[in-house]
Amino acid sequence: MQIHSPSELDRLGDEIAELSAHLDAATARLLALIREFDARGGWNTGFRSCAAWLSWRVGLDLGAARERVRVARALETLPLIAQALAGGQLSYAKVRALTRVATPETEGRLLAVGRAGTAAHVERIVRGWRRVDRKAEAREGARRHASRGLQVYQDEDGMVVVRGRLEPQVGALLVQALTAAREALYQRARAPDGDFGHGGVSAETPAMAQQQADALALLAETALHRGLDPGAPGERYQVVVHVDAQVLADPVQPGQSVLEDGARVSPETSRRLGCDASRVVMRHDDDGRLLEIGARTRTIPPALRRALHHRDRGCRFPGCGVSNGQGHHLRHWAQGGPTTLTNLALLCRRHHRAVHEEGYQVERGPDGALRFRRPDGRALPEVPSIAVVGDPVEVLRARHASNGLRIDARTACAGWLGERLDLVWAIDVLYPRAKKASPCRSSELGSPPTHPPSASLARGATAHPLQAG
């Protein structure tokens, strides 16, 4: 049995504490890099988000990657907390919790909570803070809901005036609908030769307010025409594309590739839609007259689709894995590619588009594995390699020392001295809207108050928001 002296164990504990502070300081640098990479769209190379890229590139669980991106974005507006993390004074666990509720106005007092309390204290205070926040948000939501309204009346000159207040989600829906209607009107106004109006002369573009008015009229006409019926479930989201066979086989060949309303889409879009869709074959004579129309068939039969989902389990694009996907023909059926399991791969909508319209390539190798390539031809591996040069601990220490950062075993030590946390009192003192909120905060937080927040307690709270029991 080996016996260690207390001083030896103390040194071991100090080394653990010091290295943990170094790792937290390095995490601050990592989050800054993630924030810059995210803001500059470095992940937008076939990945659907920065978190998806992180999951692929550095092997993070997708949930942990999303949390890193969230914290990185939040720290951009929280310089005090970011500085404390960069100095190794706060752990990443504390920062992750604080960024759930901190704002530029409240980060000072929440930083004091992080420095004074343990990670468990911080989590409890943040949970209490969020409960009070939710109560306040619910009251605000009820107030906004009650204030909604829409007025439609006729002005003196006969014009109809529309004024209203909509809830945020309803307003966002209206904005999207108006944008879609404006785009539809824009497409209608285009002449076949690409000019506006007639005779190749562009008509004067209406002002935005006029475009919005025209779009609202189109929305009303469409709703009345459809009888406010969104359509049968099977047809509601159906998109019909008319495409010539030679265009499907070779996108550079001349021929039509248009939607039902006549709007043109690219041949590659038609090829993507044709990978996994219902198909109706029509035959025409040389003059364009319809000779024969076949029955509608599925490009990928249901039994084969089940086998495809069972084999691939989700999108096969590196770093994705979304469960719902579309069958992609590695060699398109219009070019003679068979609709067989070996010629199919499951891709989500985002990455199916990336393969067809954004230049990404995928093929199945002799060993049966899928190989993806970027538009420039570089390989996109399923799992990228990560190499560390040198002793990572010494690299961290040297880098921090070169930046003037001095970290020791006491750097991240909390100021807690063992006193009991009075959660209700802490929230009463810390929460900026506490005095404006209802007086029943103790029930909102789930525990009765034990001490009323006096003026002296409030003054000392930002330095040490823990009260002795």
394-433 confidence digits (pLDDT tens): 878 888 888 888 888 788 777 776 677 787 777 777 777 5
Q: Give me the residues paired with residue 153 across strands.
A: 161
What's residue 341's pLDDT? 93
Task: Record the pTM.
Answer: 0.60
Domain ranges within the chain, ordered by starting residue: 6-142+408-461, 148-192+214-222, 241-380
22-31 as b/e, with b when 16 or more CB fall inside 10 Å?
A: bbbbbbbeeb
Two tokens at 308? Answer: 């495809």
Q: Residue 406: helix, strand or coil by DSSP?
A: coil
DSSP 298: E
- Per-residue model confidence (pLDDT) at position 291: 61
Model pLDDT, residue 358: 85
Supply the pLDDT for residue 462. 42
Residue 90 burial (CB < 10 Å; 0-12/13-18/19+)?
A: buried
CA angle 292, 294, 299 (to 5 degrees): 145
Query: If you search the block for the tokens 């006729």, which residue do you land on?
Result: 154
3-state secondary structure the chain: CCCCCHHHHHHHHHHHHHHHHHHHHHHHHHHHHHHHHHHCCCCCCCCCCHHHHHHHHHCCCHHHHHHHHHHHHHHCCCHHHHHHHHCCCCCHHHHHHHCCCCCCCCHHHHHHHHHHCCHHHHHHHHHHHHHHHHHHHHHHHHHHHHCCEEEEEECCCCCEEEEEECCHHHHHHHHHHHHHHHHHHHHHHECCCCCECCCCCCCCCCCHHHHHHHHHHHHHHHHHHCCCCCCCHHHHCCCCEEECHHHHHCCCCCCCEEECCCCECCHHHHHHHHHCCEECCEEECCCCCEEEECCCEECCCHHHHHHHHHHHCCCCCCCCCCCCCEEEECCCHHHCCCCCHHHEEEECHHHHHHHHHCCCEEEECCCCCEEEECCCCCEECCCCCCCCCCCHHHHHHHHHHHCCCCCCCCCCCCCCCCCCCCHHHHHHHHCCCCCCCCCCHHHHHCCCCCCCCCHHHHHHHCCCCCCCC
Per-residue model confidence as pLDDT tens for the chain (469 residues):
566 666 888 888 888 988 898 899 999 999 999 999 999 999 988 788 899 899 999 888 888 999 999 999 999 999 999 999 999 999 999 999 999 999 999 999 899 989 988 899 899 998 888 888 777 667 766 777 788 899 998 888 888 899 999 877 778 788 888 888 888 887 766 545 444 444 343 456 678 888 888 888 888 888 776 665 554 444 444 567 777 777 777 776 777 777 766 667 777 877 887 787 777 767 766 666 766 677 677 788 889 989 999 999 889 998 887 887 889 999 988 888 888 999 999 998 888 888 988 889 999 999 989 999 999 899 988 878 776 666 777 878 888 888 888 888 788 777 776 677 787 777 777 777 555 544 444 445 554 444 433 333 233 444 445 543 3
Q: Which residues pair with 164 in a beta bridge?
A: 150
Biggest CA-to-CA distance, the chain: 100
Return the closest-CA partner of residue 17 out of 412, 460, 385: 412
